[in-house]
Structure 1
Amino acid sequence: MVRGILLTSNLPQLQNLIKRDPISYKEEFLQQWHHYNSIREIFAINPDEQAHHFGELVAFISQVATCYPKETAQFPAQLSTLLLESYNVLSLDTKKTIVQNLVMLRNKNVISSIDLMKTLFPLLPQTSSSALRGFIRKTILNDIKAANLRTKNHKLNSAVQAMLFGMIERGLGAEFVGDKGKTKMAAASSDSRKHGDEAMWAIILSKELWRKGIWRDAKTVAIIAQGCFHPVIKAQSASLHFFLGDEEEDEDSDNEEQEVDIKSLQHKREVKKKTRSGDNKLRKQMKEAKKKSQQKGDDVSTNFSALQLLRDPQTFGEKLYDILHNHDKKFSLDHKILIMQLLSRIMGSHKLCVLGFYTYIVKYLFHKQLRIPSILVCLAQSVHDLTPPDAVTPVIRKLAQEFVHPGVANEVIAAGINSIREICRRQPWAMEEDLLSDLIEYRKSKDKQVVAASRGLLRLYREVNPGMLKKRERGKEATMSVSGGAQPLPYGHGPEAAVDIEGLSLLEDHLKVLENGKEDDGSDNEDAWKGWEVESDSSSDSDSEGWIGVSDDENENLVISDSEDEGEDKASPEAQVEKKISTLATTKILTPADFALLNSLRASATGSTSTSKNKRKAEPDVSTQTDEFISENDILGPRKKAKADYEERMASVRAGREGREKFGSQKGKQNKAAPSSTTNREKARNKPIMMIMNSSAVKGKKKASLREKQRKLRAHITKAKQSYH
Structure 2
Amino acid sequence: MPRGILLTANLPQLQNLIKRDPPGYRDEFLQQWNHYNSIRQIFRLNPDEHAAQFRELVAFIAQVATCYPKETQEFPSHISSTLMESYGVLFPETRKALIQTLVMLRNKGVTTSIDLLKCLFPLLPRTTSPALRSLIRKTILTDIRTANMKSKNHKLNRSIQTMMFGMVERGLDDQNFGNKGKAKEISSDGKGTGHGEDAMWAVILTKELWRKGIWNDAKPVSIVALGCLHPIVKVQSASMHFFLGDEEAQEDSEDEEEDVDVRALHHRREINKKTRSGDKKLQKKLNTAKKKKYGNDPSQPNFPALQLLHDPQTFAEKLFDILNRYDKRFSLDHKILMMQLVSRVMGAHQLCVLSFYTYILKYLTYHQLRVPTILVSLAQSVHELTPPDVLTPVIRKLANEFVHPGVASEVIAAGINAIREVCRRQPWAMEEDLLGDLIEYKKSKGKAVTAAARGLLQLYREVNPGMLKKRERGKEATMGMLSGNHQPLPFGHSAGAAVDIEGLSLLEEHLQKLREQDNPEEMDEDAAWNGWDAESDSSEDSDGTGWVNVEDSGQEYFDVSDSDDENEKKGEEQNEATAPKEPTLSTLATTKILTPADFALLNDLRIQAATKAVESGGGSRAKRKLAELETSKSHQRGESASAFISEEDILGPRKKLKADYEERMASIQKGREGREKFGSRKGKKTKETPSSSTNREKAKKKPIMMILSSGAVRGKKKASLRQKQQKLREHIDRAKKARR
Normalization by structure 2: what TM-score? 0.73
Q: Which residue of 2 aligns with 1:655?
A: 670
Cα distance 1:646–1:20, how it changes in 2: closer, same or farther (>3 A)?
closer
Cα displacement string for residues 581-607 of structure 1 (whole angstroms, at most 9, x for unaligned residues): xxxxxxxxxxxxxxxxxxx85437658
Instruction: Provide the C-alpha distance between the structure 1 equivalents of 2:719 and 2:369, rounded to a whole number of angstroms.
Output: 79
RMSD: 3.9
Q: Which amino acid aligns with 2:711?
A: S
Q: Deviations over 1:365-387 (max 9, x none)?
A: 11000100000000000000000
Structure 1 residues 90-101: aligned runs within 5 Å: 90-101=90-101
Q: 1:4 maps to what in 2?
A: 4
Deviation of residue 3 (structure 1)?
1.9
Residue 635 (str. 1) matches residue 634 (str. 2): no
- Identify the residue that residue 693 of structure 1 maps to in structure 2: 709
Within 5 A, what are the aligned runs for 1:307-706?
Answer: 307-486=306-485, 487-497=487-497, 539-540=534-535, 547-548=546-547, 557=559, 569-571=584-586, 573-574=588-589, 576=590, 602-603=595-596, 606=599, 628-644=643-659, 648-661=663-676, 663-664=679-680, 666-667=682-683, 669=685, 683-686=699-702, 689=705, 692-695=708-711, 697-698=713-714
Whether the 8 Å contact between 1:344 and 1:379 is mirrored in structure 2 is yes
Residue 242 of structure 1 aligns with which residue?
A: 242
Partner secondary structure for residue 88 of structure 2: coil
Shift of 1:423: 0.1
1:224-239 matches, cutoff 5 A: 224-239=224-239
Distance 1:667 1:309, change over 3 A: closer
Alignment-mate amino acid for residue 596 of structure 2 = A
Whole-Å Cα distance in 1 between the matches of residues 323 and 305 of structure 2?
A: 21
Task: Tell me if structure 2 keeps the 8 A contact 1:177–1:187.
Answer: no
Deviation string, structure 1 residues 322-344 (Cα, Å, up to 9, x no partner)? 01001101100000000000110
Q: 1:623 and 1:357 mapped to 2: Cα distance?
A: 33
SS at match of 1:242: helix
The equivalent of 1:587 in structure 2 is none
Whether the 8 Å CA contact 1:350–1:626 is kept in 2: the answer is no
Cα contact 1:246–1:300 (8 A) shared by 2 = no
Question: In structure 1, what is the Cα distance between the partners aligned to 2:14 and 2:716?
Answer: 108
Provide the secondary structure at the position in 2 that maps to 1:149.
coil
Residue 540 of structure 1 deviates from its aligned partner by 4.8
Judge conservation of contact 1:550–1:601 (CA < 8 Å) in 2.
Answer: no
Structure 2 CA distance for partners of 1:367 and 1:121, relative to 1, 3 Å = same
Deviations 1:208-244 (A, max 9, x none): 1000000000001001110001111111100000000
Q: Is the 8 A contact 2:243 2:306 kept in 1?
A: yes
Please show how residues 175-214 of structure 1 align to structure 2 within 5 Å.
175-178=175-178, 184=180, 188=184, 194-214=194-214
Whole-angstrom distance in 2 between the partners of 1:551 and 1:607: 26
Provide the C-alpha distance between the structure 2 equivalents of 1:397 and 1:459, rounded to a whole number of angstroms: 20
Deviations 1:504-543 (A, max 9, x none): xxxxxxxxxxxxxxxxxxxxxxxxxxxxxxxxxx945665
Structure 2 letter corresponding to 1:116: L
- Structure 1: state its 5+ residue gaps: 254-296, 503-537, 579-599, 672-676, 706-725
CA distance in 1, matches of 2:355, 2:642: 20
Mapped to 2, the partners of 1:447 and 1:577 lie a distance apart of 56
Contact 2:299 2:645 in 1 (8 A): no
The whole-number CA distance in structure 2 between the counterparts of 1:191 and 1:697 is 94
Per-residue CA shift, 1:90-147, capped at 9, x if unaligned? 1111111111111111111111111111100000000011111111111111111111
SS of alignment partner, residue 115 of structure 1: helix
Summarize the Cα distance change of 1:388–1:700 in structure 2 as closer, same or farther, 3 Å threshold: closer
User: Which residue does the alignment assign to 1:40?
Assistant: 40
Decide whether aligned partners of structure 1 residues 542 and 367 sit closer, same or farther in structure 2, where only a CA change above 3 A counts. Answer: farther
Is 2:183–2:197's contact at 8 Å kept on the other side of the alignment? no
Q: Which amino acid aligns with 1:306?
A: A
The answer to whether the 8 A contact 1:348-1:627 is kept is no
Deviates more, 1:37-46 or 1:419-428: 37-46
My pick for the range that moved more, 624-633 or 138-147, is 624-633
How far apart are residue 654 of structure 1 and its match?
Answer: 2.7
Aligned residue identity for 1:423: V
Encode CA deviations 1:482-518: one digit per residue, 9 max, x unaligned: 111231111112223489999xxxxxxxxxxxxxxxx
Offset of residue 151 of structure 1: 0.8
How many Å separate the matches in 1 of 2:583 and 2:536? 30
Work out the CA distance in 2 between the residues paired with 1:603 and 1:320.
41
Q: Quick check: 489-498 or 476-485, which moved more?
A: 489-498
Aligned partner of 1:721 in structure 2 is none
The one-letter code sitting in structure 1 at the alignment partner of 2:473 is R
Query: Structure 1 residues 325, 548: closer, same or farther in 2, change over 3 A?
Result: same
Greater displacement, 327-336 / 299-308: 299-308
Pairs within 5 Å for 1:152-301: 152-178=152-178, 184=180, 188=184, 194-250=194-250, 301=300
CA distance in 1, matches of 2:633, 2:712: 85
Q: Report the residue type matching 1:142 in the other structure.
A: T
Structure 1 residues 210, 695: closer, same or farther in 2, change over 3 A? same
Mapped to 2, the partners of 1:7 and 1:641 lie a distance apart of 79
Could you tell me which runs of 5 or more consecutive residues in structure 2 were left unpaired when the two chains were aligned: 254-295, 503-532, 562-568, 574-580, 605-628, 688-692, 721-740
Q: SS of 1:216's equivalent?
A: coil
Instruction: Report the residue type matching 1:330 in the other structure.
Output: R
Once the two structures are TM-superposed, the CA of residue 685 in structure 1 deviates from its matched residue by 4.7
Contact 1:130 1:252 in 2 (8 A): no
AA aligned to 1:79 is I
Contact 1:247 1:300 in 2 (8 A): no
Distance 1:300 1:149 in 2: 32
Shift of 1:699: 8.3
Could you tell me how far apart the structure 2 residues matched to 1:668 and 1:421 are?
60
AA aligned to 1:207 is: K
Offset of 1:652 from its aligned partner? 2.1
Q: Which amino acid aligns with 1:548?
A: W
Residue equivalent to 1:151 = 151
Structure-2 change in CA distance of 1:474 and 1:169 (3 Å): same
Give the deviation of 1:643 after TM superposition.
Answer: 3.7
Contact 2:125 2:201 in 1 (8 A): yes
The letter for the 1-side match of 2:643 is: E
* Alignment coverage as a number of residue pairs: 590
Q: Give the letter for the 1:664 counterpart.
A: S
Does structure 2 retain, via aligned residues, the 8 Å contact 1:203–1:235?
Answer: yes
Rounded to whole Å, the distance in 1 between the matches of 2:476 and 2:697 is 78
On the 8 A contact 1:43/1:51 being kept in 2, the answer is: yes
Compared with structure 1, are the counterparts of its residues 606 and 100 closer, same or farther at alpha carbon in structure 2 (3 Å cutoff)?
A: closer
1-side partners of 2:719 and 2:646: how far apart?
A: 80
The 8 Å contact of residues 19 and 64 in structure 2, kept in 1 or not, is answered as: yes
Q: CA deviation at 1:169?
A: 0.6
Instruction: In structure 1, give the amino acid aligned to 2:649.
Output: D
Distance 1:704 1:413 in 2: 69
Identity %: 62
